[in-house]
């Protein structure tokens, strides 16, 4: 009997505890909603009184936009308000499609010139070439018109005409052309082909609608045309991501059916999901290398992370961006939208690779990267150790390629671009993109082209010395070391001609890429760039070396 009453007391206590907890929970939830309703009332009353009695008129849209922007400052940078005029940009991010003419532009001084023409685009069909200068659009001069405005005018609904006048950059001859805008579909697979005879290579630039199907077709075509393939490279460098579903489709090309690729978890538990592969893969045995760099983000990291966690292939390059957040769009009144972060995503091992903690802000409102001391370890399916909180770390790290200061200056001042334009008009033909080489005599011609050009610049060492001199003067040390600083400054002064020769091979490669782009457009530029691509060459070496490839995939077992 006593045991019965003891059990009854315990049961009653447990029920009271449960009821109390439920009451606290309900109170907290009710209090939270009360606080929201209360502050919305205050906000509306505040604006009403301010708008009624403030001495000057306040533009409602501008004031409200500032209020929205202030709220967004408390969130992450991926949560955003999308106005009606920016809906096309949101659509482009999802579909890769927009209405326009299919060209890239750059404004340098008074005029805007064409820098790239997309193959098969309206500009390509009209015979427009990189280097051509836009003189007018629909009868209005483009002289001194900002680049953003020129770009806006080039876009428009498919089928609408645009009357343009172009100036030849060499002869100065002006030619009118009628361009009919089309729906431009920026291809998610910008190039696929064979490198070094037996390695497949696919360059993927974004995760938009049907991009996974494009990658699948590219893999299938490469395998069918090259049965002796020794490996496949999937290049996700610079790929900012896009649709999560498409990331699963891409991973599925190399991973068996019914395998977990990614899961999402957020505040709204009903929205939590697990994404598994649903199709038969193309190939689960072909050695695979996924290339990443710091600009590989979001969906790119889902693919790289799942391939790494499932030990399906090697990740090569640099640590990825570290975006482990998922966004959803919510419809707002008057054809506007909210793009809001609703969840975090987790790779098959259970890690979230989000690198910046936006939920904990410093006193100044700033945010920090997750410190290494707080990053947790997880294991791949084969037992290798991987970490969360900082992007995808490569299995084979390759230092990024840095461009010399002289090369940066030549690019920035468009001397490489302009020389390539001159070269194009004086050479009707060149060799195939992969085999084209600039001769030493032609490089000397480029040097002569620069003789009367100003490409002066400061090296990083000179900038550092200037900063040191400023600090020394403030701290009153300068007079004591002035002579030594002057000697050091003299020794550091660079000779532009010598810098040009010292970085000859690098500048030749940049010239070759730009020249090839004139004849073979974007595909030609990519093919040419593969010659000296450190990450690609590292991937080729590892894919051709089965022992080293397997060793990197089984380090934890040794």
pLDDT digits (tens), the chain, 558 positions: 444 444 444 444 444 444 444 444 455 666 878 888 998 999 999 999 999 999 999 999 999 999 999 999 989 999 999 999 888 888 888 899 999 999 999 999 999 999 999 999 999 999 999 999 999 999 999 999 999 999 999 999 999 999 999 999 999 999 999 999 999 999 999 999 999 999 999 999 999 999 999 999 999 999 999 999 999 999 999 999 999 999 999 999 999 999 999 999 999 999 999 999 999 999 999 999 999 999 999 999 999 999 999 999 999 999 999 999 999 999 999 999 999 999 999 999 999 999 998 887 777 777 788 888 889 999 999 999 999 998 999 999 999 999 999 999 999 999 999 999 999 999 999 999 999 999 999 999 999 999 888 887 777 777 788 888 888 888 888 888 888 888 877 776 666 778 888 999 999 999 999 999 999 999 999 999 999 999 999 999 999 999 999 999 986 443
The DSSP H or E segment spanning 385 is strand 385-387
What's the CA gap between 361 and 359, in Å, rounded? Answer: 6
Catalytic-role residue among 192, 296, 298, 306:
298
Annotation says 323 is catalytic: yes
Residue found under tokens 């490489």? 416
Strand ranges in 168-305 using DSSP code E only, listed in sequence order = 174-180, 182-185, 189-195, 199-204, 231-235, 260-266, 273-276, 288-292
Q: Where are the beta strands (DSSP E) in 392-506?
A: 396-397
Q: Determine how β-strand 140-141 pairs with β-strand 133-137.
A: antiparallel
Domain ranges, ordered by start, for the chain = 97-185, 189-397, 405-458+494-543, 460-492
Tell me the helices (H) and strands (E) count for the chain, helix number first: 17, 23
Q: Alpha carbon 62 to chain centroid distance?
A: 31
CA distance 426 to 418: 13
Q: Determine the CATH number of domain 97-185.
A: 2.30.42.10
Cα separation of 139 and 12, whole Å?
Answer: 86
- Nearest to residue 354, comparing CAs of 376, 338, 334, 336? 376
* Residue 61 backbone dihedrals phi, psi, to 5 degrees: -65, -40
The matching CATH number, chosen from 3.90.226.10, 3.40.50.300, 3.40.50.1100, 3.40.50.2300, for 189-397 is 3.90.226.10
Inter-residue contact 534 to 233 (CB < 8 Å): no
Is residue 493 part of the annotated active site? The answer reads no
Identify the three-state secondary structure at position 348: coil
Q: Which position among 76, 80, 309, 395 bears the catalytic label?
A: 309
pTM of the model: 0.86
Kind plus residue range of the DSSP H or E element containing 100: strand 97-100
Question: Do the domains 97-185 and 189-397 sit in the same CATH topology, yes or no?
Answer: no
Marked catalytic residue, from 323, 499, 508, 533: 323
Token reading at 307: 């391939």
Active site includes 41?
A: no
Q: Are 527 and 292 in contact (CB under 8 A)?
A: no
């Amino acid at each position: 009997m006593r045991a019965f009453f003891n059990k009854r007391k315990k049961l009653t206590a447990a029920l009271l505890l449960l009821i109390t907890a439920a009451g606290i929970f309900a109170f907290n939830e009710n209090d939270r909603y009360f606080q929201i309703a209360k502050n919305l009332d205050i906000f509306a009353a505040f604006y009403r009184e301010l708008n009624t009695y403030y001495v000057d008129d306040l533009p409602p849209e501008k004031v409200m936009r500032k209020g929205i922007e202030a709220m967004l400052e408390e969130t992450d940078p991926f949560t955003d308000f999308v106005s009606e005029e920016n809906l096309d940009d949101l659509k482009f991010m999802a579909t890769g499609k927009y209405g326009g003419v299919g060209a890239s532009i750059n404004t340098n001084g008074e005029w805007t010139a064409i820098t790239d023409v997309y193959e098969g685009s309206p500009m390509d069909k009209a015979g427009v070439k990189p280097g051509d200068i836009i003189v007018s659009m629909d009868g209005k001069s483009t002289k001194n018109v900002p680049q953003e405005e020129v770009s806006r005018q080039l876009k428009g609904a498919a089928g609408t005409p645009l009357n343009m006048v172009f100036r030849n950059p060499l002869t100065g001859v002006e030619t009118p052309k009628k361009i009919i805008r089309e729906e431009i579909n920026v291809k998610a697979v910008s190039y696929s082909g064979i490198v070094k005879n037996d390695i497949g290579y696919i360059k993927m630039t974004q995760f938009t609608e049907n991009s996974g199907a494009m990658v699948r077709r590219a893999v299938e075509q490469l395998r069918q045309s090259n049965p002796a393939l020794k490996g496949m490279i999937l290049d996700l460098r610079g790929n900012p991501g896009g649709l999560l579903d498409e990331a699963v489709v891409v991973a599925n090309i190399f991973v068996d059916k019914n395998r977990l690729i990614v899961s999402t978890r957020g505040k709204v538990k009903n929205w939590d999901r697990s994404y598994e592969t649903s199709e038969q893969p193309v190939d689960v045995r072909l050695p695979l290398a996924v290339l990443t760099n710091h600009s590989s983000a979001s969906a790119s990291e889902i693919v790289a992370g799942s391939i790494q966690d499932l030990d399906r292939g090697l990740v090569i390059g640099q640590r990825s961006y570290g975006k482990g957040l998922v966004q959803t769009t919510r419809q707002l009144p008057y054809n506007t939208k909210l793009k809001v972060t609703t969840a975090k995503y987790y790779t098959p091992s259970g890690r979230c690779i989000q690198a910046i903690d936006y939920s904990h802000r410093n006193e100044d409102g700033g945010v920090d990267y997750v410190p290494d001391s707080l990053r947790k370890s997880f294991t791949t399916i084969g037992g290798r150790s991987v970490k969360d909180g900082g992007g995808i770390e490569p299995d084979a790290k390759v230092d990024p390629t840095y461009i010399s200061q002289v090369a940066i200056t030549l690019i920035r001042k468009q001397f490489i671009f302009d020389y390539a334009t001159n070269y194009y008009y004086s050479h009707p033909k060149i060799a195939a993109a992969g085999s084209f080489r600039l001769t030493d005599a032609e490089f000397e011609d480029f040097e002569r082209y620069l003789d009367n050009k100003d490409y002066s610049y400061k090296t990083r060492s000179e900038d550092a010395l200037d900063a040191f001199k400023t600090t020394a003067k403030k701290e009153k040390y300068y007079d004591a070391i002035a002579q030594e600083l002057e000697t050091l400054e003299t020794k550091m002064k660079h000779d532009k001609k010598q810098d040009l020769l010292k970085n000859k091979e690098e500048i030749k490669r940049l010239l070759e890429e730009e020249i090839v782009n004139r004849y073979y457009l974007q595909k030609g530029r990519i093919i040419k760039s593969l010659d000296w691509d450190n990450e690609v060459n590292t991937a080729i070496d590892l894919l051709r070396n089965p022992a080293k490839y397997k060793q990197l995939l089984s380090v934890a077992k040794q």
